[in-house]
């Protein structure tokens, strides 16, 4: 199915994707980055899935229960109607997924096909019957149990059920995961009560949101998605719950995004803080501090859920890939690249923490000081840049700007908050960096900043220059850059990261427009006072969300399809921030982040 046809289920530890026809085609137990036990998304049904739907149906519709991550899919048949309620329980010891079949009217014949394949579809487990109803599947370290009241049969290494559901009848299917050596977990005695509790849990959480405005539904759905992608045991947030969903359908631009990127940090902190979620923001900031502890030269650009550094990349040759997009990759070889921009994101994150009262720990300042000392020497080196190109290292303009941000925020820490540090030296370094970037990163002939020193190529990351306060949004050079990107990198109203034909990124094929970059364009227009145009861009992005409000990483404007890993946290973070930037009742994150002084208070957000 298309990415648009999938909805997200999650419990703040792992996640599943369920299609509009009732098939769970992706599920990693017990963590986001665990090997999938359902991998049909990247292969076919024989690689694992859980199909539950009527034998035949005429229409299907679905929605999330208001303010929750509980999915309700309604099927209409010639004989009646049935609803499937899907959810993962967020606050239980054992990872648990519930599928409740509810009769709405008439009598509907249902079918179930369960194909459990551990280790990304490669391992067929040993399946035995549960004397109390259901089955148990065991292989290596994993045990998955399915409990249900309907009879199950086994055939061709798959588990089936045929049953009927009548009006007002409710039939539960409860799946749990445990280590294969662990004791049998306690059974959920009342699945209906568990779903009710799950509903209350999500609705209480979203009720804390401070946003008020015309885009409330979009903001709420994006916040719920971010919460679902947060690993609650450490506070880390994965970029997406999937791997190898292609940026170019049928191509090789397929990456594992089930890790935590440092560069997402400041954007994420702003979105959480301004929306009123200080606890989650604090958890994310503390995860950052733990993850980067150590020698600055060894800082990764991404980490595992608990801060793991070794994310070795390898391929899964038995999976044919989403729509033939190969290779399918696990791990991410870009984790140990030199990407100077992450130092700016880190220092800006800690600066945000000080502005909002999250950061009063002197130990974190020691870490920051060491990071700045490294940047003082490293900023003149070429690097792999924000987009993690696998071509030659270059002097990327955005990387230099963010290196400047690192030093600039250290200067602010000393001047505004009284921390100790070599103020005059840092101010001198920041001034030198600023001057060089303006000289070597700007092309007077184009009237625009460029992707790398000496190049003629544009890059959407340049849209961040005003957002981080490098130059004012009304500076002629910023206006020229925004105008050039609108002319050369915009396709049908959406912004490309860069031109793949002009950038040596070591890969073949093209890619879709980047949704976050499109929203950065809107943020720049807001700062320039072009709010109406920015609103049009924002609503265009909202219009491509799927029927349950989710966004992928990119959008293929030629095919009118989402591409890239799904759902993508970065896209939803950008949506939240732009919604606040458009709101007239608060100072949005673009103005706060771009300010050269301490951010003013925004109503309802403690900023």
The pLDDT of 114-127, averaged and rounded, is: 97
CATH number at residue 347: 1.50.10.10
For residues 442 and 581, state if they share a domain. Answer: yes
- Which residues share a beta bridge with 167? none
The better pLDDT of the pair 283, 328 is held by 328
The model's pLDDT over 292-308, given as tens digits with 9 standing for 90+, comes to 888 888 888 899 999 99
pLDDT of 603 higher than 70: no
For residues 301 and 162, state if they share a domain. Answer: no
Using DSSP bridges, classify how beta strands 170-179 and 6-10 pair: parallel, antiparallel or unpaired.
unpaired
95 in a structural domain: yes
Q: How confident is the model at residue 2 (pLDDT cuts 50, 70, 90)?
A: very high
**Of the candidates 462, 455, 504, the residue with the CA atom closest to the CA atom of residue 480:** 462
165 in a structural domain: yes
Q: How confident is the model at residue 509 (pLDDT cuts 50, 70, 90)?
A: low
The pLDDT of 187-214, averaged and rounded, is: 96
pLDDT of 593 higher than 80: no
Domain boundary among 159, 180, 201: 180
Please tell me the predicted confidence (pLDDT) of residue 132.
79
Peptide bond between residue 288 and the one before it cis (omega within 30 degrees of 0): no
Q: How many CB atoms lie within 10 A of CB 587?
A: 19
Please tell me the predicted confidence (pLDDT) of residue 587.
58
The pLDDT of 332-357, averaged and rounded, is: 88
For residues 298 and 445, state if they share a domain. Answer: yes
| Rg of the chain over all Cα atoms, to the nearest angstrom | 25
193 in a structural domain: no
Please tell me the predicted confidence (pLDDT) of residue 602.
31
Q: How many domains does the chain have?
A: 2
pLDDT of 96 higher than 80: yes
Handedness of CA 277, 346, 368, 270 (dihedral sign): negative
Please give the angle made by the CA atoms of 227, 232 and 238, to the nearest 5 degrees. Answer: 60
Query: Cα–Cα distance between 217 and 547 in angstroms, integer?
Result: 12
Q: How confident is the model at residue 598 (pLDDT cuts 50, 70, 90)?
A: very low
**Of the candidates 403, 414, 400, the residue with the CA atom closest to the CA atom of residue 345:** 403
Please tell me the predicted confidence (pLDDT) of residue 592.
61
Query: Cα–Cα distance between 329 and 332 in angstroms, integer?
Result: 8
The pLDDT of 31-51, averaged and rounded, is: 98
How many Cα atoms within 13 Å fall on the side-chain side of residue 380?
6
Handedness of CA 497, 268, 395, 313 (dihedral sign): negative
The pLDDT of 386-413, averaged and rounded, is: 92
603 in a structural domain: no
CATH number at residue 52: 2.70.98.40
pLDDT of 82 higher than 70: yes
pLDDT of 162 higher than 50: yes
- List phi, psi (to 5°) of 98: -115, 135
Q: Which of 104-113, 354-363, 381-390, 447-456 has the lowest mean pLDDT?
A: 354-363
**Contact assessment for residue 36 and residue 26, using Cβ atoms and an 8 Å cutoff:** yes
For residues 382 and 431, state if they share a domain. Answer: yes
Q: Which residue has the tokens 């060894």?
A: 298
The pLDDT of 396-413, averaged and rounded, is: 97
Query: Cα–Cα distance between 32 and 259 in angstroms, integer?
Result: 8
The pLDDT of 360-368, averaged and rounded, is: 80
The pLDDT of 413-437, averaged and rounded, is: 96
Query: Cα–Cα distance between 79 and 55 in angstroms, integer?
Result: 11
For residues 523 and 448, state if they share a domain. Answer: yes
**Contact assessment for residue 243 and residue 255, using Cβ atoms and an 8 Å cutoff:** yes
pLDDT of 173 higher than 50: yes
**Of the candidates 357, 345, 223, the residue with the CA atom closest to the CA atom of residue 282:** 357
pLDDT of 566 higher than 90: yes
Q: What secondary structure, in 3-state letters, does 121-189 show?
A: HCECCEEEECCCCCEEEEECCEEEEEEECCCCEEECCEEEEEEEEECCCEEEEEEEEEECCCCCCCCCC
248 in a structural domain: yes
Q: Using CB atoms within 10 A of its CB, is residue 499 exposed (0-12), middle (13-18) or buried (19+)?
A: middle
pLDDT of 316 higher than 80: yes
For residues 154 and 238, state if they share a domain. Answer: no
As a dihedral over the C-alpha atoms of residue 7, residue 11, residue 14, residue 19, rounded to 10 degrees, the angle is: -20
207 in a structural domain: no
pLDDT of 233 higher than 70: yes
Please tell me the predicted confidence (pLDDT) of residue 299.
87
396 in a structural domain: yes
Alpha helices in 514-568 (DSSP H): 515-527, 531-543
The model's pLDDT over 525-550, given as tens digits with 9 standing for 90+, comes to 999 999 999 999 999 999 999 999 99
For residues 167 and 219, state if they share a domain. Answer: no
The pLDDT of 159-164, averaged and rounded, is: 97
Q: Which of 1-15, 300-314, 414-428, 574-588 has the lowest mean pLDDT?
A: 574-588
Please tell me the predicted confidence (pLDDT) of residue 131.
80
Please tell me the predicted confidence (pLDDT) of residue 506.
59
The better pLDDT of the pair 428, 502 is held by 428
**Contact assessment for residue 380 and residue 393, using Cβ atoms and an 8 Å cutoff:** no
304 in a structural domain: yes
Query: Cα–Cα distance between 260 and 242 in angstroms, integer?
Result: 13
The model's pLDDT over 236-294, given as tens digits with 9 standing for 90+, comes to 999 999 999 999 999 998 999 999 998 887 788 889 989 999 999 888 888 888 888 88
For residues 149 and 221, state if they share a domain. Answer: no
Which residues span the domain enclosing 534? 213-594
Q: How confident is the model at residue 596 (pLDDT cuts 50, 70, 90)?
A: very low
Using DSSP bridges, classify how beta strands 494-495 and 490-491 pair: parallel, antiparallel or unpaired.
antiparallel
Domain boundary among 129, 159, 180: 180
The pLDDT of 574-598, averaged and rounded, is: 71
For residues 144 and 290, state if they share a domain. Answer: no
Report the predicted TM-score, pTM, of the whole model to 2 decimal places. 0.94
Query: Cα–Cα distance between 207 and 210 in angstroms, integer?
Result: 8
Side by side, the strands of the sheet bearing 513-514 are 513-514, 554-556, 561-563
Please tell me the predicted confidence (pLDDT) of residue 357.
82
Q: What secondary structure, in 3-state letters, does 537-551 show?
A: HHHHHHHCCCCCCCC
Q: What is the mean pLDDT of the chain?
A: 92
For residues 166 and 283, state if they share a domain. Answer: no
For residues 62 and 163, state if they share a domain. Answer: yes
Domain boundary among 127, 160, 180: 180
For residues 168 and 220, state if they share a domain. Answer: no
Please tell me the predicted confidence (pLDDT) of residue 605.
27
Q: How confident is the model at residue 80 (pLDDT cuts 50, 70, 90)?
A: very high
């Amino acid at each position: 199915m298309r990415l648009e046809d999938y909805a997200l289920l999650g419990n703040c530890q792992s996640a599943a994707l369920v299609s509009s026809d009732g098939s769970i085609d992706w599920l990693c137990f017990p963590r986001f980055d665990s090997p999938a036990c359902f991998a049909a998304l990247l292969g076919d049904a024989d690689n694992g899935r859980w199909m539950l739907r009527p034998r035949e149906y005429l229409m299907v519709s679905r929605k999330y229960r208001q303010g929750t991550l509980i999915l309700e899919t309604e099927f209409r048949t010639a004989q009646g109607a049935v609803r499937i309620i899907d959810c993962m329980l967020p606050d239980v010891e054992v990872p648990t997924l519930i599928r409740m079949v509810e009769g709405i009217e008439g009598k509907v014949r249902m079918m179930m096909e369960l194909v459990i394949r551990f280790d990304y579809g490669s391992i067929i487990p040993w399946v035995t019957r549960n004397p109390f109803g259901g089955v148990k599947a065991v292989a290596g370290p994993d045990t998955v149990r399915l409990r249900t009241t309907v009879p199950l049969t086994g055939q061709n290494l798959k588990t089936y059920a045929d049953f009927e559901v009548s009006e007002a009848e409710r039939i539960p299917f409860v799946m749990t995961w445990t280590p294969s050596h662990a004791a049998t977990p306690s059974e959920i005695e009342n699945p209906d009560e568990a779903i009710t509790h799950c509903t209350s849990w999500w609705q209480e959480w979203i009720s804390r949101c401070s946003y008020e405005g015309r885009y409330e539904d979009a903001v709420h759905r994006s916040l719920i998605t971010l919460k679902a992608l947060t690993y609650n045991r450490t506070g880390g947030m994965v970029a997406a719950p999937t791997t190898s969903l292609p940026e170019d359908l049928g191509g090789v631009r397929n990456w594992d995004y089930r890790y935590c990127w440092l560069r997402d940090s400041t954007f994420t902190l702003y979105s959480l803080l301004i929306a009123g979620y200080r606890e989650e923001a604090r958890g994310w900031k503390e995860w950052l501090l733990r993850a980067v502890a150590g020698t600055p030269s060894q800082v990764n650009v991404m980490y595992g859920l608990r801060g793991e550094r070794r994310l070795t990349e390898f391929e899964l040759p038995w999976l044919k890939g989403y729509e033939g997009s190969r290779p399918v990759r696990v791990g991410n070889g870009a984790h140990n690249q030199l990407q100077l921009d992450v130092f700016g994101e880190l220092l800006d994150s800690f600066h945000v923490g000080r502005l909002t009262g999250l950061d009063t720990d002197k130990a974190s300042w020691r870490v920051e000081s060491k990071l700045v000392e490294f940047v003082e020497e490293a900023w003149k080196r070429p690097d792999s840049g924000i987009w993690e190109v696998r071509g030659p290292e270059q002097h990327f303009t955005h990387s230099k700007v963010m290196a400047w941000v690192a030093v600039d925020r250290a200067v602010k820490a000393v001047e505004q908050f009284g921390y100790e540090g070599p103020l005059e030296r840092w101010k001198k370094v920041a001034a030198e960096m600023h001057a060089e970037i303006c000289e070597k990163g700007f092309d007077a002939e184009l009237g625009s900043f460029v992707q790398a020193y000496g190049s003629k190529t544009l890059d959407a990351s340049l849209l961040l220059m005003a957002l981080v306060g490098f130059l004012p949004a009304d500076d002629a050079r910023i206006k020229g850059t925004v105008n050039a990107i609108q002319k050369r990198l915009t396709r049908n109203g959406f912004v490309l990261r860069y031109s793949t034909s002009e950038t040596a990124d070591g890969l073949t094929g093209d890619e879709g427009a980047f949704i976050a970059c499109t929203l950065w364009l809107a943020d720049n227009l807001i700062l320039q006072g072009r709010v109406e145009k920015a609103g049009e861009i924002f609503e265009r992005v909202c219009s491509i969300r799927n029927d349950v409000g989710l966004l992928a990483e990119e959008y293929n404007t030629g095919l009118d399809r989402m591409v890239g890993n799904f759902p993508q946290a970065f896209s939803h973070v950008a949506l939240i921030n732009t919604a606040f930037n458009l709101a007239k009742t608060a100072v949005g994150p673009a103005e706060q982040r771009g300010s050269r002084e301490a951010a003013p208070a925004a109503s309802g957000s403690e900023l």
